[in-house]
Amino acid sequence: METIAAIATPPGQGAIALIRLSGPEAFAVAGRVFSLNQKALNPKNLPPRAIPLGQPLELRPRSQHFGCLMDGTSVVDEVLLTPFRAPASFTGEDVVEIACHGGSLVTRRILELLLRSGATAASPGEFSRRAYLNGKLDLTQAEAIMDLIGAQSDLALKAAARQLEGRLGERIRGVNGAILDVLAHLEAYIDFPEEDIAPDTGAPMVARLQGVMVILEQLLATAQQGRVLRAGVRTVLSGAPNVGKSSLLNRFLGFERAIVSPLPGTTRDTLEEVVMVRGWPLRLVDTAGLRDGADVVELEGIARARRQLEQADLILHLFDVTLPPPASLPDSGKAAILVLNKSDLPEHPGWQEIEAVREAVRISCLPATGLAEETGLTALEAAIDARLTSGLGLSDADNEVAINARHHDCLRRCLDFLKAAEVALITPLPPEFVAEELRAALDAAGEVVGRAHSEDLLGRIFSAFCIGK
């Protein structure tokens, strides 16, 4: 393996930046440019001395050492260097982390110096990929690193932290172990008929497979929550022109993001922003007002609004409470909340005659002059929280796992193979057919943690990582 180097902190200016080295020559590369300053360890305050450049670094692992990075006779920066000996490091290789001053120029100069001294520039996710290949973490934990970095809510942060601890990996290994036990018994019966091994291919084996399938169904049921935590709840603001969709978006954001005008048809395209509501990341989508008789451009905006409604996790149906209610209210087949806007104005008496509006939330999008309760925003947030928890089956409870789309695909295939094995046992078919389905199920489940992987799979996963991670 080549020794790789990369800047591990975001680009820009800051107090401190971190540069990483990993690989068999990490200590040698660092030793070519690092001069250990002994001043801090000099009790007699004698003139500082430095270890000559080019000497192998014999520094205590997992301790910070103060010194200078040298480009020939020129000091590039004063740094803190922390060595980690293999295998006690993140990647499982020799690792050197260099904490330097956080300017864009100085970090770039240091990286260039390391590359000239024998290191190779790391590709995105290469440190995490090496950690996986060296057995320091499984694929679910590697993916959790990116979930942790990209978390936009406390709930997403908790879910990523649990996955990084290896809880999903433990569940998958339990599934693998259960399938392997059944497969081992079945193959022993096939291969060693003279040993009088009980076939156990009737009801007991079916029951064991059904127990595994229950676990898989439980894991698959977390896919919705996993998608929401990672991508946010797609929340569409829907209604006729001038009911206050853009105004509500601005109120949630706390600043004027969308243009608000008394003229109908101001919003011609969808506008999307992320806000936090009661710990839930909402991807608020402002849409064009739904009406007939619009011009060509507005009609395209309305068509896009309808497509957003089809993809929505949650719909906020807005109505102007000062106007007569429509002949029929929107279908609430999806999770939806009826929102009556402009409650600061006299309400049209027709709304009082509709039974469904008893559960509606009345709000005003005027700038708040006092508590949020006065405008109804607090009540709307509570309704959103309740609807996500009950209507979408989401919860902020300490669920151990929340699978992503890749996990879902693998586990769904595993479940399908187990169902095929169950059918083969009940039919019954020869045990060789059952064993073939169980092997396929084992491979599918193993893909989740990386027990069965391809270079293409690893490329897809780690290419989404940032450089330096």
Radius of gyration of the chain (CA): 30
Predicted local confidence at residue 118, as pLDDT:
94
Predicted local confidence at residue 451, as pLDDT:
74
Q: Compute the residue count for the chain.
A: 469
In tens, the pLDDT along 141-178 reads: 998 988 888 887 777 888 888 889 888 999 999 999 99
DSSP 308-375: HHHH-SEEEEEEETTSPPPSSPPP-SSSEEEEEE-TTSPPPGGGGG-GGGGG-EE---SPPSS-GGGG
> What is the SS3 assignment for 415?
helix
Predicted local confidence at residue 89, as pLDDT:
95
Looking at per-residue confidence, does 185 or 411 come out higher? 411
Q: What are phi and psi of 147, to 5 degrees?
A: -65, -40
Within a 13 Å sphere around the CA of 331, how many CA atoms are in the beta-carbon half? 4
Predicted local confidence at residue 334, as pLDDT:
60
At 195, list the tokens.
């040993």
pLDDT at residue 96 is higher than 70? yes
When mean pLDDT is compared over 13-17, 93-97, 229-233, 280-284, the highest value belongs to: 93-97
Q: Average of pLDDT values for 69-77?
A: 89
Q: Which helix (H) or strand (E) holds 173?
A: helix 167-191
pLDDT at residue 13 is higher than 60? yes
Q: Give CA–CA dist 170/214, Å, rounded.
A: 16
Q: Which amino acid is at 232?
A: G
At 360, list the tokens.
């509606």
- Estimate the share of the chain in helix, then strand, then coil, as percent rounded to the nearest 5: 45, 15, 40
Q: Does domain 237-390 have CATH number 3.40.50.300?
A: yes
Q: Which amino acid is at 321?
A: V
pLDDT at residue 195 is higher than 90? no
Tokens 């989740």 -> residue: 448
Instruction: Work out the pLDDT band at 43, boundaries 50, 70, 90.
Output: very low
pLDDT at residue 340 is higher than 80? yes
At 304, list the tokens.
């896009």
pLDDT at residue 216 is higher than 90? yes
Instruction: Work out the pLDDT band at 371, boundaries 50, 70, 90.
Output: very low
Instruction: Work out the pLDDT band at 51, boundaries 50, 70, 90.
Output: very low
Tokens 């090496």 -> residue: 130
Predicted local confidence at residue 467, as pLDDT:
80
Tokens 């506008």 -> residue: 271
The answer to whether the 143-222+402-462 and 237-390 domains have the same CATH topology is: no
In tens, the pLDDT along 407-446 reads: 999 999 999 999 999 998 888 888 888 889 999 999 999 9
Q: What are phi and psi of 459, to 5 degrees?
A: -60, -40
Domain spanning 143-222+402-462, CATH class: mainly alpha
Predicted local confidence at residue 372, as pLDDT:
46
- Assess contact for 71 and 79: CB atoms under 8 A: no
pLDDT at residue 465 is higher than 90? no
Instruction: Work out the pLDDT band at 97, boundaries 50, 70, 90.
Output: very high
In tens, the pLDDT along 222-272 reads: 888 888 878 788 888 888 887 888 888 888 877 566 555 554 544 545 677
Domain spanning 4-122, CATH class: alpha beta
In tens, the pLDDT along 266-323 reads: 454 567 788 888 878 888 888 766 655 555 555 666 666 677 777 788 888 888 888 8
The chain-wide mean pLDDT, for the chain, equals 80
Q: Give CA–CA dist 201/269, Å, rounded.
A: 60
Cβ burial 141-162 (10 Å sphere, 16+ → b, else e):
bbbbbbbeeebbbebbebbbeb
Percentage of residues of the chain with pLDDT beyond 70 = 78
Closest to 396 (Cα-Cα) out of 405, 406, 388: 388
Q: Where are the domains of the chain?
A: 4-122, 143-222+402-462, 237-390
Instruction: Work out the pLDDT band at 199, boundaries 50, 70, 90.
Output: low
Instruction: Work out the pLDDT band at 46, boundaries 50, 70, 90.
Output: very low
At 155, list the tokens.
């709930």
At 210, list the tokens.
């059904």
The conformational region for residue 62 under phi > 0 = left, psi -120 to 50 = alpha, else beta, is left
Q: Which helix (H) or strand (E) holds 22?
A: strand 14-22
Direct distance between the N- and C-terminal alpha carbons of the chain, in angstroms, rounded to an integer: 17
